[in-house]
Structure 1
Amino acid sequence: MIDKVLLFFERYSFGVCTYLGEKFQISQAKIRLFFIYTSFLAAGFPLVFYFFAAVVLDIRHFIKRKRIQFWDI
């Protein structure tokens, strides 16, 4: 059961932890735990940062995809 839940979140997450882990060469699990623990301590502020980072990463991915399609024409 736990494996299904973990697979669901890894498949449908925004990729913020993956991006930060690759950028700073830190384990993704440690970054996820950091967000979980700090959101309990800081009353949800890290969740705001997480969603903001997800939006920024999604926009960057969208712009890169559009730029490639524009130059392929």
Structure 2
Amino acid sequence: MSGSLEVRQFLMQQDSSSSGDVPMQRNGDVSRVSDDQVRRARLSVAGSSLDAEDCARLLDMLGLLPGEDGVPPAQR
């Protein structure tokens, strides 16, 4: 029990010390996911996947595969 109390106290300290601001993209357009972000996300998913089928399924679930228009849903 004392471990969970220590964790809660630590989290409360972190919450009180953070400003609560959500970081914005550097270009200021918060609705657009950049090509570089999609590329890095794809690499991250590929590195964590069990095989090609698993990778394709995860990329599809995350909206990182190009749609019919050639644009991934994450970038729409």
Higher helix share: 1
Please report the TM-score for the alignment, with normalisation by the length of structure 1. Answer: 0.30
Please report the TM-score for the alignment, with normalisation by the length of structure 2. Answer: 0.30
